[in-house]
Structure 1
Amino acid sequence: MSAAGVNCAPAPRRGIVLGGGGVLGGTWAIGALCALEQTHGFAAKDVDVIVGTSAGSVLGALLGCGVSSEELRQHNNEEVVTAGPLVGYRWDPVQATGGSRPGLPRIPAPGSLKLIGASLRHLGHLPPTAVLSAFLPEGRKSLQELGHLVSAVTPEAGWAPRSGVWVVAMDYETGKRVVFGRSGAPTSRLPDAVMASCAIPGWFTPVIIGGRSYVDGGAVSATSVDVLAYADLDEVYVIAPMVSFKSDHPNTVAARLERRWREQVTRTCLAEANMVRGLGAKVTIVGPGAKDLEAIGANLMDASRRAQVLETSMRTSTSAWREAALLAEAG
């Protein structure tokens, strides 16, 4: 082959953002990951940086430890996983998440008086969701089963066997976002960081890491795309279960309220993405479409709908990525 025929262009540096969205959001995201690989031709587990928040942190941790998107699909469907780090691991999502409703609080009092104090001292500096989380009573449910899942694939060193696996949580005393795994972040084991990222205020017990209390990173942002602003990436792919550009027509009050909240999350995600775009990266975003939302319903923690949600996502996400790519090219 002549020198002129050799392609010497370096491979693009890629990042994947996996947003929060409860049990069903995580299930939908697995379909979106499989479709991303089919439409773009690269393995999700091999990208340079993976950012996970809440349910997305579980998927991000598993990808970072070598689990493929297809193995995630098999695992979610409770099929026999025949290859990879999850071989033989049994998973009960209902037991792991404690069901579709939060338990009654032990003490009907605010979960974080320190965060309430911080919000009063710095009015307007914290997202409303972070402030609201401080007033919710401390959750009672445990995420230990989820921790066991991540521990099953985590090396003895305590973190993923590669760099660029970032887990987003919120310091429950200050309301500040913490990105575990990134340079300068507090030291943590990967299972603990994931449990912290998934600790929905009022639902799950906060997770203690290094003497500090942490809760769901979604209390700051459901996506945290902006943490990649200075990661020197060429392409960023955002899989955002709480972002939707097309809605369904729900007929229950709960679902209508959930869709209204999606509108705010979508605006925040777009603002974060524009920040990253402004620094030179191409950002492509997908979220559940109308058919996905019909499958998801109003309660993102309803594990009984997982099969339907995944089957729908596997059908809809391929076209969603193609449409999103056209929008990304158009700027």
Structure 2
Amino acid sequence: MNRNYRSTRRLFAAFLLASNIAVAEDACEPPRIGLALGSGGAGGLAHIAMLEVFETMQIEPAAVAGTSIGAIIATLHAAGLESGQIQQLFREFGESALNPFSGLLTDNGAPGWRELVEIDLANGSFIDASGFIEFIAERFDARSFAELDKPLVIVATDYWSGEAQVFRTGELLTPLKASMAVPGLFAPVALGDKLLIDGGASNPLPLDLLEDVDFVVAIDVSGTRREARDGKPNITDLLFSTFEIMQQSIVREKAEHASPDIYIKPELPGIRLLHFDRVDRVVELAGAGAGKLRAELEALPGCRNEIRNDSR
């Protein structure tokens, strides 16, 4: 009888051990990763290569935040589009009559004035972004933040106060249009009593706005400048590159106070602010940065309980 009792007790202990192991394995929650996608004109198409890394590693960002082109791609991602679908969307945009960008700058940076057929100085801009917003909105059903697959943060800037305007709830397309309203290129967007312009003027890399995440991944696509052959920038460079210089200064200062866990800045030689017709080339150039992102993601702890242990 004692022998049977001991055998039964051993079996029960083994059962409890196996159950505890299974519970421990089930309790291994993956870390919550927040993804911040920065502004940077056509260089922001490099965000597509970064999203592909997450997909191939089967890592799902828990939340995304974006500014300007980063807001566009963050929205498409939060609406459920995969990286390949986003890349195809920009291929079609680059080939369509809707694309006013491809002829706006030639390779040497001189304006292609014949392409500026939508100039309306009364609205303070060259181009109305409504056609582009309608073009991308055809690819997803969500019209409010609540209808997206995950939390999304979009940043615009109040023109009069200069303060960042952060959108997490409510109607979706108007903040999206405002976030990419580059001064002098796109018309400002009126929303209530505010006049909104590009979010890059106040927070070009919104890594500090991601909430309830364990790690923050920041993708910085702010541009770099190359010296002209005669050493003098032309009027187009002065107009848009000055805005980029300002954004880079904001990013540097922000990183000192809210450093991300992973920071990637892909090298994109030859890609200018308005080269939206070169999506495949941008994604190709972003390959090295994507490889760095993969390596750094692989180095992160695999479970949330590992993060808690490390914090102790």
**Aligned to 1:223, what secondary structure does the other structure show?**
coil
Q: Could you state the TM-score of these two structures normalised by the residue count of structure 1?
A: 0.67
**Quick check: 1:25–1:242 contact (8 Å CA) kept in 2?**
yes
Q: Could you state the TM-score of these two structures normalised by the residue count of structure 2?
A: 0.70
Q: Does 1:149 align with 2:135?
A: yes
> How far off is 1:207 after superposition?
1.0
Q: Does 1:48 align with 2:62?
A: yes
2-structure distance, mates of 1:208, 1:273: 30
Deviation per residue, 1:40-79 (Å, 9 max, x gap): 5313xxx22211100111111111111112221232334x
2-structure distance, mates of 1:318, 1:155: 28
Match of 1:316 among 275, 288, 292: 288
Match of 2:263 in 1: 285
Match of 2:191 among 206, 209, 212: 209
**Aligned to 1:293, what secondary structure does the other structure show?**
coil
2-structure distance, mates of 1:159, 1:149: 21
2-structure distance, mates of 1:308, 1:285: 22
> How far off is 1:178 after superposition?
0.6
| Percent of paired sites with the same residue | 22
2-structure distance, mates of 1:204, 1:148: 15
Q: Does 1:11 align with 2:30?
A: yes
2-structure distance, mates of 1:97, 1:62: 18
Change (3 A) 1:213 1:222: same
> How far off is 1:159 after superposition?
5.3
**Quick check: 2:64–2:153 contact (8 Å CA) kept in 1?**
yes
Q: Does 1:306 align with 2:279?
A: yes
2-structure distance, mates of 1:273, 1:212: 28
2-structure distance, mates of 1:300, 1:328: 33
Match of 1:138 in 2: 124
Change (3 A) 1:263 1:287: farther
1-structure distance, mates of 2:95, 2:67: 18
**Quick check: 1:150–1:190 contact (8 Å CA) kept in 2?**
no
**Quick check: 1:169–1:216 contact (8 Å CA) kept in 2?**
yes
**Aligned to 1:272, what secondary structure does the other structure show?**
helix
> How far off is 1:261 after superposition?
7.8
1-structure distance, mates of 2:263, 2:132: 27
1-structure distance, mates of 2:225, 2:125: 31
Match of 1:106 among 110, 114, 121: 121
Change (3 A) 1:156 1:318: closer
**Quick check: 1:283–1:328 contact (8 Å CA) kept in 2?**
no
2-structure distance, mates of 1:194, 1:323: 31
> How far off is 1:286 after superposition?
0.9
Name the aligned partner's letter for residue 215 of structure 2.
E
Match of 1:62 in 2: 76
2-structure distance, mates of 1:156, 1:35: 27
2-structure distance, mates of 1:321, 1:70: 18
Larger Rg: 2
Q: CA RMSD in A?
A: 3.5
Deviation per residue, 1:118-151 (Å, 9 max, x gap): xxxxxxxxxxxxxxxxxxx821410112221343
**Which has the bigger relative contact order, CA under 8 A and spacing at least 6?**
2
- Unmatched 5+ residue regions in structure 2? 1-17, 106-110, 302-312
2-structure distance, mates of 1:12, 1:304: 36
Deviation per residue, 1:259-301 (Å, 9 max, x gap): 9986765554354345335xxxx62111122xx224x1xx310
1-structure distance, mates of 2:51, 2:147: 19
Q: Aligned residue pairs: how many?
A: 263
Name the aligned partner's letter for residue 206 of structure 1.
P
Match of 1:37 in 2: 55
Match of 1:219 in 2: 201
